[in-house]
Every structure is written in C-alpha cells, then in structure tokens.
C-alpha cells in the first residue's frame, strides 16, 4: 500500500507508517475531528435485526399456561430432619385442598453441591393469576403462616425464581424410584437464550433414550438468563454411563461445541428426593 492510497482513506494522516493495515487503524484512532470520528465509527457499526417477540413467548409451551417456581432453602444442619418433616406435612395438606391451583413437582435435599440445602419445584396451573391466587389464600391460612414462622427459625437463607418450561422438553411428571436427580444450572450470556433454545431443541433427542430427561426451564423473575435442566438417574454410575453414551451419538458434540460459548457460569447439584416428593 502506498502513502497516496492511505491518504485517500484517511486524509488527516500525513506521516509515514509501516505497511500493515492494523497500524493504519491505530493512527486513525488519534484523529480529533468529530466528523471524521463519526465516519470512522460507522465502519464498525452493526445492524441489529428487530426482535418480533420476547424469548419467553418463542421458547415456552403454548399449549399450557403453567408457571413454575423453584425454591432454594439453606437449612441449619441441625434442623434438616425437622425441616423435611414439616415440609412433608404442609405440602400434603396443600395437595389435599383442590382450591389451591398449585402442586409440588419435586422436593430434594442436596447430596453433592451446596450442602444442607433443600430444593423445591412448584407448578402453578394457570400462570401468574394462579400464583397470585395461591399467595392470597396462603396469607389468610393461619396454619401455613404458623409453619412459615416456625420454618424461619430453621433457615440460614432462602431464594426463589419464577420459571417457564422449554417447549421442546419433557413435561415434568411423577416417577417411581429410587433415583438420584441432577439439577444443572447455566447462567447464560444476556441475549443468547433463543440461540440456546435452538441448539437444545435438536440436542434433547440425544438424551431421552434412557428416560433421564425430567424437565427444562428458564427464569422469568429472579436471576435472569438462567437455565435449569433436571435429570434423573438410578445412581451415580448410571449417570456416568448415560452421559458418556451421548458422546457416541453423531451431533451431540456439535451441540456442546456451540452452546459452551453461551455460558457464563454453570453448576451441578446431585439431589436425593424427600420422602413425600412426587419425583422419586
């Protein structure tokens, strides 16, 4: 490249420079004229296609209006047994009352991962109106309010998230045991949920042969761009064999390759069902 050609690209440059284009870009960065700065920045502008719908509408099940809530309770170690017993009694009582449009899908204690933690997955049939109705009724339920007060003495901390289920995942359903459950949690790069869903809509077929896929969810309220995949295995050895078998199927490696860059953080919990959990 000669100097004349470089001056046609950027007339403000009147100094000799090496013949590498990257050096030219460096020299251009020192231009002070605002009009020229605007011209230069336009070279790197990206055109963004307008989104036609929220990812929650594009990825969630259309045939149902279910809303899910996942709870994480960090329990004082000495209180875990009493906590499990109280949870059993209260959940059974709520299930006996058909006027509550909610049900517990599963309740677990962590085995590997964060210790002394209980995880509960609830389903609200009817979406946000059902959630609101349940909260209103529970706030008038004196027995439940007493339970919450007693439970608070057993907890170190607690948090929850509201979730929708991916349209291409299995509908979570009761199953007999014994099983262990793995909750794999992915914190995605903001803006990549649809890309994640597109890859997993194809990849889920590689993980359904052994009936290990329980449910797939993404957050709506709480920590955003979080995905939860729930899997069931007979034991840890079965988990290892099932996961290794997926790598022998053509296409699984491509899914891992393309989804890994979308992940900021990931976590795995191995969980044991509580006695009253519908998922055993």
pLDDT tens-place string over residues 157-182: 999 999 999 999 988 999 998 999 99
Output 7 or 269, whichever has higher pLDDT.
269
pLDDT for the residue numbered 251: 87
Render pLDDT for 110-153 as a digit per residue (tens, 0 to 9): 999 999 999 999 999 999 999 999 999 999 999 999 999 999 99
Render pLDDT for 60-80 as a digit per residue (tens, 0 to 9): 766 567 999 999 999 999 999
Q: Determine the length of the chain.
A: 280
Confidence of residue 4 (pLDDT cuts 50, 70, 90): very low
pLDDT for the residue numbered 274: 97
Ramachandran region of residue 126, left (φ > 0), alpha (ψ -120 to 50) or beta?
A: left
Is residue 9 over pLDDT 70?
no
CA-based end-to-end distance of the chain: 71
**How far is it, in rounded angstroms, from Cα 243 to Cα 63?**
31
Would you state the torsion angle of the CA atoms of residues 19, 22, 27, 31, taken in this order, to the nearest 10 degrees? 130
What is the pLDDT of the chain when averaged over all its residues?
Answer: 84
Burial class (CB in 10 A: 0-12, 13-18, 19+), 191: exposed
Out of 46-60, 222-236, 242-256, which region has the weakest mean confidence (pLDDT)? 46-60
CB 24 within 8 A of CB 17: yes
Confidence of residue 57 (pLDDT cuts 50, 70, 90): low
Q: For residue 120, give the nearest of 182, 156, 86, 70 by alpha carbon.
A: 70
Confidence of residue 279 (pLDDT cuts 50, 70, 90): very high
pTM: 0.79
pLDDT for the residue numbered 62: 61
pLDDT for the residue numbered 63: 53
pLDDT for the residue numbered 170: 85
Backbone phi, then psi, for 239, in 5-degree steps?
Answer: -60, -45
pLDDT for the residue numbered 39: 39
Render pLDDT for 201-229 as a digit per residue (tens, 0 to 9): 999 988 888 899 999 999 999 999 999 99
pLDDT for the residue numbered 209: 81
Provide the percentage of residues in the chain whose pLDDT is more than 90: 68
Is residue 47 over pLDDT 60?
no
Confidence of residue 94 (pLDDT cuts 50, 70, 90): confident
């Amino acid at each position: 490249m000669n100097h004349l050609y470089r001056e046609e690209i950027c007339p403000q440059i009147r100094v000799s420079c090496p013949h590498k284009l990257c050096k030219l870009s460096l020299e251009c960065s020192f231009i002070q004229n605002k009009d020229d700065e605007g011209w230069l920045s336009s070279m790197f502008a990206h055109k963004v296609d307008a989104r036609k719908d929220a990812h929650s509408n594009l990825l969630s099940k259309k045939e149902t209006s279910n809303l899910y809530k996942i709870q994480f309770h960090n329990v004082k170690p000495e209180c875990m047994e009493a906590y499990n017993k109280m949870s059993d009694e209260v959940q059974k009582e709520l299930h006996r009352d058909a006027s509550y449009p909610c049900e517990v899908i599963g309740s677990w204690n962590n085995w590997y991962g964060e210790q002394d933690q209980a995880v509960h997955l609830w389903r609200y049939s009817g979406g946000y109106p059902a959630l609101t109705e349940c909260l209103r009724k529970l706030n008038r339920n004196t027995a439940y309010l007493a339970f919450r007060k007693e439970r608070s003495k057993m907890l170190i901390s607690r948090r929850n998230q509201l979730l929708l289920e991916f349209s291409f995942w299995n509908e979570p359903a009761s199953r007999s045991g014994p099983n262990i459950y793995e909750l794999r949690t992915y914190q995605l790069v903001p803006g990549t949920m649809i890309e994640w869903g597109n890859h997993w809509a194809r990849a889920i077929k590689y993980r359904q042969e052994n009936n290990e896929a329980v449910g797939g969810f993404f957050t709506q309220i709480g920590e955003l761009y979080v995905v939860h995949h729930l899997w069931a295995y007979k034991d840890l050895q079965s988990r290892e064999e099932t996961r290794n078998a997926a790598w022998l199927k053509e296409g699984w490696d491509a899914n891992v390759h393309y989804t890994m860059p979308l992940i900021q953080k990931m976590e795995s919990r191995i969980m044991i069902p509580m006695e009253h959990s519908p998922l055993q």
